[in-house]
Amino acid sequence: MIAAERGQPIKQTRHVGNNGANESKTPFADLTKADAVAEILDEKGEMHVAKIYAAMKRRGHPVRSKNALSNLLSTSGRFQKKGKGIWGLVVHI
């Protein structure tokens, strides 16, 4: 957690999955940008693009700009615009 706050990559960790087997968890910085955004929105819920950008930078994920992030959000089918600059995950029923 301290590494993420300093903007350093988070080391790969091991955790126990639902079936009790050890599973490898990909470090946040190594996730695709879409997967990183999805993880943040899954944890926090709907957020403004500036806050998503700040969360990604804080966790050590390389993202060029808020504009690049906005382009990703608007072109991916995984995310839905909820308001002016507010994004959330698409809910599949």
Please, which contacts does 15-22 make with residues 24 or more away whose CB atoms are closer than 8 Å?
Answer: none
pLDDT band per the 50, 70, 90 thresholds, residue 28:
confident
Tell me which of 2.40.50, 1.25.40, 1.20.1260, 1.10.10 is the CATH number of domain 2-89: 1.10.10
pTM value? 0.70
pLDDT value of position 33: 93
pLDDT value of position 17: 47
pLDDT in tens, 38-80: 999 999 999 999 999 999 999 999 889 999 999 999 999 999 9
How does DSSP assign the chain, residue by residue?
-HHHHTTPPPPPEEEE-TTS-EEEE--GGGS-HHHHHHHHHHHH-SEEHHHHHHHHHHTT-----HHHHHHHHHH-TTEEEEETTEEEEPPP-
Checking if the pLDDT of 15 tops 60, the result is no
